[in-house]
Structure 1
Amino acid sequence: MAELILEQLHKRYGDQTVVSALSLTIPQGAFTALLGPSGCGKTTTLRMLAGLEHLDSGRLRLGSRVLADAQHHTPPEQRNMGMVFQSYALWPHMTVAENVGYPLKLRKMQGAAREKKIQAALDVVALGEYAQRSPQQLSGGQRQRVALARCLVSEPEVVLLDEPLANLDRHLRATMEETFREFHRRTGATFVYVTHDQAEAMALASDIAVLHQGELMQWGSPQQLYQHPKSAWVARFIGKGSVLSVVVDDAAPLLESHALHVGLAQADGFRQPVLVRPEHVQVADSGIAAQIESCVYQGERYLVQCRLADGQRVMAFHFAPLSRDQRVFLRLHQGWRLEAA
C-alpha cells in the first residue's frame, strides 16, 4: 500500500472547468472525504481516481506508480481500486454470492478458494446468511453492504465511495456509518469518500477536502475545519455559524468576548469577517441588543436566529423557547477571524 497523490489535476467538459489545479496527498490507510455542494467537482475527481475519466492535465500517483497524466492512463482494472456506487450497481440476475464473487470470476479464481473469500467478505458485512438471495429481496442498507463486500473481496489498496448513503433514510445512514468505520478498520485500505453531507463527512473521515466550483477551499481534519475555517465560505458550509463584520485591532486569530463586543460596537474602522458558532453565543441579561427572528426546537435545545441593531444576523443555542420579535441581549464568548473570502 502507498499514499495517493493528486498533483494539479485539471478536468474540463467543453468550456466548463469542473476540477481546477487540485493537489492533495492522501496518506496510506486514511479515511478521506471529498466534501462540497452539488457541481463542485467531487464525483468527477473520484472518477478520475478510478480511471473512469481521463484527466486533462496534472498527474495522479499511487506511491511511486504513475496512474495517469496527460499522456498516460492506466485502465480501471489495473489500478487495484474498488468502487462503491450510490446506486449499488448490483446485477439483478445474480445471487448475492455471485455479485460479491464477480471480481474473483474476472480473475479466473475458482473452487473452494473463491467460495471461502466470498463467504469471508459477506461475514464482514454481516450478510453471511443472505448468500443465495437475489438483490431484489434485500433492503437498501443490505444492498449497500453487498456492494461493500464485493469491493472487499478483491482486496483493493484504495476504496472509492460515491455518495453511498444518499439513497438511505436517516436511521439507516447512522447504522451504515458504523459499517463503513468497521469496514475501514478491518481492511486497512485507503478510503476516499464523496459526499455533500457535512455531518456524514465529519463523522467518518480523518481528513476532509472541501471543494467549491472545482477548487480546493481547505484541507484538514474535521476539528480543524470546524474550529479554524480559512474563509467565510468554508465557515458557512461547515457546521452552523454566523459570519459577522467586526472592527478588529488584535492580530490574534481567536477573538475573546471583549474584543468581539467592542468591535461590533465601533462605527468606524477596518472591518473583518469573524466566525461565531451558536454554542459560543449566550442569551443573557446584558450585552449586545438583538431581536429574535426565529426559534426552532431541536430536541435538547432551541436554535435561535437573532438580528443585531446594525442588521447583522447571529445564531445562538438556548434552553427555552423565545418569541418572534422578542428583544434580548446576547453575549458572544469567542469568534475566529477569517481570511477574506
Structure 2
Amino acid sequence: MITDLDLAVDPGEVVALLGPSGSGKTTLLSAVAGFLRPSSGEIRIAGRQVAAPGRHLPPERRDVGVVFQSYALWPHMTALETVAYPFRRRGMGADPARRAAGDLLERLGIASLADRRPAELSGGEQQRVGLGRALAREAGLYLFDEPTAHLDAALRARLQDEIAAQRRRTGAAALYATHDTAEALAIADRVALLRAGRMVQIAPPATVYERPVDVWSARLTGPASLLAVEVTDRRDGRARLALGNAVAEAAVDGPDGAEWALVRPDWARLGGPLPGRIVGVAYRGTHTDYELDTPAGLVGLREPGAPRADRGDAPGWQLERAWLVHRSGPGGKGG
C-alpha cells in the first residue's frame, strides 16, 4: 500500500526508490505502469493524466518502458526477436530493426545469445533481454524493478552504464527500484527512501547519505555507527560531544536537540584520544574495515590499504565529523 506519496520526476532524471521488501517500491512502479489501479490520487506522465478516480489508461497507452523482476519474455521469440519487436512497433523495417536490436544486445553483452529462446537462457540472461526490450522502446519514462538483481558486479556495472547512456541519448526519465544502497547512490539523481508505503526522505544521493532525516534512514543508506550523544559548546560548525565517558571535539551538523550522532566509516580514523578496542578486522582489498568497542558503543572505521592493527589491539580512535540525527523524523518511527 502506498500512502500520501507526492513525487515528480523531471525529464532526464533518474529517481531511485530505495527500501526494504514490503516498502512499496514494486507497488508504486505497478501503479505508474498501469498494472494496478490507485484507489485515490492521480498519476501524470509527461503532463497527461493516466490515472485518477474514474480514469485508468491501460499500460499499452502509457509512454513507459518496464523491466520488472518477472521478465515476462515471450517464450516463442528469440532474444533478437524480442528486442527487435519494439523497434518494429515504432515502424522500423525488419532488417533495420534486427540490426538495431543486435547493436543493443552487443552493448548489453549478450549478442552471442541472439538466437536463444527464454527456456535456453539463465535468469541473469533473461534479465538482460528484458532490459534490452525496454530500452528498445525508447519511452519517455522507464520503470526498473531491481533490473540487476541476478547479475554479478561486473555485469551490474555494465548495465548501469547502458541505462545511463540511454538516458543521455533520449532524455528519458526513470524510476529505479532497488534494495541495494550502493546501486541507488551510484545511478540516481535523487534517492527516495520508502518505508511501509511512505516516502521518508527524497534528496540527492550525497544528502541522503550524509544528512539522513532519522536513525532508520541512516541505517538504510550505508554503514552507520549511531552513538548516543550529548552535545555542548556548539558553534561555528564544531561542538563537544559526550560519548559515554569520553568527550570528543569534532565538526558537526544536523538539528539541535538530536539524541544521536551518525558516524560513517570514513568520518573517523584509527588511533587517537578516544578509547576503543578492536573487535573486528576485515580486509577488502582497497581498504580495511575495523570495528571498535567503545564506551559509547560499537564504531565502524574504514582506512585505505591493508590492516595496520589486529583484533584485540586498543589504539583508540579520532572522531573527525558527525551528523546529528533524531531517533525518528518525518517518516515516522525510528529504530
**Structure 1 counterpart of 2:325:** 338
Matched AA of 2:2? V
SS at match of 1:249: strand
Q: 1:125–1:148: 8 Å Cα contact kept in structure 2?
A: no
Q: Percent identity?
A: 37
Measured in 2, the distance between the counterparts of 1:190 and 1:122 equals 24
User: Relative to structure 1, is the Cα distance of residues 220 and 191 closer, same or farther in structure 2, using a 3 angstrom cutoff?
Assistant: same
Q: How does 1:7-22 map to 2 (within 5 A)?
A: 18-22=1-5
Deviations 1:280-317 (A, max 9, x none): 11121x4111122211121122211112124x121112
Question: Which residues of 2 match residues 166-177 of structure 1 at below 5 A?
Answer: 166-177=149-160
Indicate if the aligned counterparts of 1:260 and 1:334 stay in contact, CA closer than 8 A: no
**Partner of residue 279 from structure 1, selected from 253, 266, 274:** 266
Q: Write the letter of the residue equivalent to 1:119.
A: R
Alignment check: 8 A CA contact 1:255 1:335 kept: no
Q: Which runs of 5+ in 2 are unaligned?
A: 248-256, 329-335
Distance across 2 between alignment mates of 1:255 and 1:39: 38
Specify every segment of 5 or more residues in structure 1 that has no aligned partner in the other structure, as ranges.
Answer: 1-17
Change in CA separation of 1:21 and 1:118 when aligned onto 2, cut-off 3 Å: farther
Q: Please state if 1:246 is matched with 2:229.
A: yes
Q: Distance in 2 between matches of 1:108 and 1:292?
A: 61
Structure 1 ranges of 4+ moved more than 6 A: none
**Distance in 1, Cα, partners of 2:43 & 2:234:** 39
Shift, 1:158, TM fit: 0.8
The answer to whether the aligner puts 1:290 opposite 2:290 as a matched pair is: no
Could you tell me which residue of structure 1 aligns to residue 205 of structure 2?
Answer: 222
With over 3 angstroms needed to count, the CA separation of the structure-2 counterparts of 1:201 and 1:38, relative to structure 1, is same
Matched, 1:315 2:300: yes
Worse overlay, 91-100 or 274-283: 91-100
- Indicate yes or no: 2:246 matched with 1:260: no
One-letter code of the match for 2:215? A
In structure 2, how many angstroms separate the alpha carbons of the residues matched to 1:149 and 1:204? 18
Q: Secondary structure at the match of 1:164?
A: coil
Do the aligned partners of residues 130 and 301 (structure 1) sit closer, same or farther apart at CA in structure 2, a change above 3 Å counting? closer
Comparing 199-208 with 184-193, which one deviates more in the overlay? 184-193
Q: Which range moved further: 69-78 or 243-252?
A: 243-252
**Shift in Å, 1:47:** 0.4
Q: Give, as a single letter, the amino acid of the residue that structure 2 aligns with 1:83.
A: V
Counterpart AA for 2:282: V
Which deviates further from its counterpart, 137-146 or 59-68? 137-146
Whether 1:78 aligns to 2:64 is no
Q: Indicate if the aligned counterparts of 1:103 and 1:153 stay in contact, CA closer than 8 A.
A: yes
Alignment-mate amino acid for residue 31 of structure 2: M
**Match 1:300 to one of 286, 290, 293:** 286
Which residue does the alignment assign to 1:11?
A: none
Over the residues paired in the alignment, what is the CA RMSD in angstroms? 2.6
Aligned residues: 314
The TM-score, its normalising length taken from structure 2, stands at: 0.84
8 Å Cα contact 1:242/1:314 also seen in 2: yes
Tell me if structure 1 keeps the 8 A contact 2:75–2:118: yes
Cα distance between partner residues in 1 of 2:129 and 2:21: 27
- Quick check: 1:295–1:321 contact (8 Å CA) kept in 2? no
SS of aligned partner of 2:323? strand
Q: Which residue of 2 aligns with 1:13?
A: none
Residue pair 1:276, 1:334 contacting (<8 A) in 2 also: yes
Contact residue 45 and residue 63 of structure 2 kept, 8 A: no
Q: How do 1:108-147 residues align onto structure 2 when only pairs under 5 Å count? A: 109=91, 113-126=93-106, 131-138=114-121, 140-147=123-130
Q: 2:150 is matched by which residue type in structure 1?
A: N
1:41-56 paired onto structure 2 within 5 Å: 41-56=24-39
Q: What is the CA–CA distance in structure 2 between the aligned matches of 1:207 and 1:177, rounded to whole Å? A: 15
